Amino acid sequence: MHSHRHLLSGKGISLSEGPIVQGILSFALPIFLGQLLQQLYNLADAWVIGNFAPDEAFAAVSTGGNLTFLITGFFNGMAMGGGVIISRYFGAKDEDDVSKAIHTTFFFGLIVSVLSTLAGTLLAPWLLHLLNTPDDVLPYSLTYFRIYFSGVSTVILYNICMAIMRALGDSLHPLYYLVFSSLTNVVLDLLLVAVFPFGVAGAAVATVITQGLSVLLCLRRMTHVKDSTRLDFKKLRIHWDMMRQVIGQGFPTGVQNAVISIGNLVIQSNINSFDKYAMAGQGAYARIEGVVFLPITAISMALSTFVSQNLGAREYTRAKKGAAFGIVTGVALAEMVGIVFLVFAKSLLGIFIDNPESLEFGLIHVRVAAPFYCLLAFSHCAAGVLRGCGKAVVPMVSMLLFWCVTRVIYVTVALQFFPVYATIPWAYPITWTLSSILFAGFLLRTDWTHAFERQAVSVR
């Protein structure tokens, strides 16, 4: 019989006991604040470049999110899969398998960090040409991505560390580390772009350095915890029985992230075919959306850990109640956020862009997408629940079918009949609606709470 005392006395926090609402919200709040600080990396880049570098430099950094996510998104999905496995064994109070899952997930992260660096540096120039990046923007984009991907291992390892710590119920310490690294990022941005005219190169270097600092702080915590969840470099290896489970949960999410990126890259290519003002306007919209939607993303991530821990502990009713609360809260919050964004769109977009042409493109995107944020929230939260119960294939199929294939078909066909920019943003609410219908049907018509048992996964 395993000793359970240490699991509940160190850095790990059990979400399978105590008040449900308090548990989810107290776990989600540090995730939200942490992600907000992560967004400050990008916002600092955008603000400094928008004010101290040419418009072409801002367009290069603004439109880079989809390309970076294409390379890193797959491996971040694998990290989430590792988190689901760790949460399940943590909920079951199985110390041996928790340790195996942690060391397998981290070692896997080291391997994919190398692969991401190679893939990014080799593929970035080709992808930028494929995306119809304008000639005046291309040199800036190449500079930014060559530096970013040379240090992408810091981004990958940071996400691995976050997945492990959150799986164990610790969403607070990552927040502390992000406060420090975010402040460092702002200082470095101002120094390397505003004071020294290094432009996009300075912004990329600042991002890599600050992510690296976050990794070092996480590792210091993870290697000094005095319980069975401690990361010991001497124990790093692939436990193949555990690796199969990590792949089983993480591969669908990784594929999902990759195919969504491909779909978004096709849409980005169409946006780029208009002009640099469309690129800057859409880039400004994306940065604001990335911030205002963070509370819902945090709830979605918290739901995965909450559901996984509770199903591991065989608290089936508790898992259902928590899932219902999280989904309803996320949907209501998202709609309020969308309304606020709609009302203050001009002022918010004006933080990053000041020319009227770019501003108008950004406003078009807000008017189309923001009223439908409730559907985007439902899809995110439902996907979080399904990943938590081991059904990561369902979100993958939904996102592949709707957020990639349907979007690409819609944009390709619709622009032939309505060749104006306003046609493009409608790809998002249309596909959010379709994925929401699929998720609602699955959650209401299937017994997702017993998914682990049907998969014949041993939870001791």
- Give DSSP secondary structure letters for 366-425: HHHHGGGHHHHHHHHHHHHHHHHTT-THHHHHHIIIIIIIIHHHHHHHHHHH--SGGGTT
Is the per-residue pLDDT at 8 higher than 60? no
Question: What pLDDT was estimated at residue 4?
Answer: 38
Could you tell me the pLDDT band of residue 320, with boundaries at 50, 70 and 90? very high
Percent of the chain with pLDDT over 70: 93
Both tokens assigned to 180: 């420090």
Report yes or no: 3 and 160 within 8 Å, Cβ to Cβ: no
End-to-end CA distance of the chain: 9
Question: What pLDDT was estimated at residue 45?
Answer: 67
Could you tell me the pLDDT band of residue 167, with boundaries at 50, 70 and 90? confident
**Residues 32, 43: Cα–Cα separation, whole Å:** 16
Report helix, strand and coil shares of the chain as percent, to nearest 5: 80, 0, 20
306's CB contacts (< 8 A; 6+ apart) are 15, 23, 24, 27, 319, 322, 323, 326, 388
Report yes or no: 149 and 208 within 8 Å, Cβ to Cβ: no
Report yes or no: 248 and 72 within 8 Å, Cβ to Cβ: no
Across the chain, what does the average pLDDT equal? Answer: 84
**pLDDT tens digits, residue range 378-431?**
999 999 999 888 888 899 899 889 988 999 999 999 989 998 888 999 999 999
Report yes or no: 105 and 243 within 8 Å, Cβ to Cβ: no
Both tokens assigned to 136: 């005046």
Question: What pLDDT was estimated at residue 299?
Answer: 93
- The secondary structure element, H or E, covering residue 1 is none
pTM (predicted TM-score): 0.77
Categorise residue 54: left if φ over 0, alpha if ψ from -120 to 50, beta otherwise: beta
Question: What is the phi/psi pair of residue 104, to 5°?
Answer: -65, -45
Both tokens assigned to 302: 């918290």
Question: What pLDDT was estimated at residue 451?
Answer: 64
**pLDDT tens digits, residue range 331-382?**
999 999 999 999 999 999 988 888 888 889 899 999 999 999 999 999 999 9
